[in-house]
Structure 1
């Protein structure tokens, strides 16, 4: 629960976004810098990053409340890593997904994000 003068709230969002064409460009130093930039932006807006997960071809965040991160991170990453400018004129695709946690517990969302790399890609579990 977070509070401010005259308000108490418990908001959480699961945010997912991908590089253009879902190219696997978010590794190594790019991944490290992206994680730093996301935290900087969350701090700027008083947000809390509960469960960050940067995978080579997409980003999962569980945030309270949702920080606006796409434009900020794209600007900085493309300025610092020339190969991203040449491979992807826009770094991120135009769309993104945001959902409120709703009736799913925060712990469930956090566990889902943290175990993302343990699930098979491209389909349902057998």
Structure 2
């Protein structure tokens, strides 16, 4: 069994976050298996730099869900800003057909502690993104 507790000099922590976010204009970016694989690699690299444990990453055609465990010293907003910023920049550099885009992701995201989220709540968030640019 994987031990998800983190120990530092001052804290022991196990905060699991469930993040969901969508590509801008609901583009079907994750239809491309190479793109999805590279996206996951970059997310894992970013999380390693931030000392965040990646529990799972799942990609649907037009959204991604991530289960991450992080220390309380980094906020969910900071986690998303870093992941979205780095993945957007690197993926646009590596996939020429995306170079004309200024950003890959919407500015919004859904986050909850992993234990307090229902599938219905996630579905509501994803459906609401259909009307946003």
Is TM-score (shorter-chain normalized) higher than 0.5? yes
58 and 7 in structure 1: CA distance in 2 versus 1, 3 angstrom threshold: same
Aligned counterparts, 1:62-81, within 5 A: 62-65=67-70, 67=79, 68-81=82-95
String of CA shifts for 1:25-65, please: whole Å, max 9, x gaps.
12221111101000000110111110111222111000011
Tell me how far 1:80 sits from its aligned partner: 0.7
Gaps of at least 5 residues in structure 1 are 113-120
SS at match of 2:108: coil
* Number of the residue aligned with 1:115: none
Aligned counterparts, 1:92-103, within 5 A: 92-103=105-116
TM-score (norm 2): 0.71
Tell me how far 1:85 sits from its aligned partner: 2.6
Q: 1-side partners of 2:63 and 2:114: how far apart?
A: 19
Q: 2-side partners of 1:6 and 1:89: how far apart?
A: 40
**Mapped pair 1:50 → 2:63:** no
* Number of the residue aligned with 2:38: 33
Greater fraction helix:
2
**Mapped pair 1:24 → 2:28:** yes
TM-score (norm 1): 0.75
Aligned counterparts, 1:79-94, within 5 A: 79-86=93-100, 88-94=101-107
Tell me how far 1:101 sits from its aligned partner: 2.5
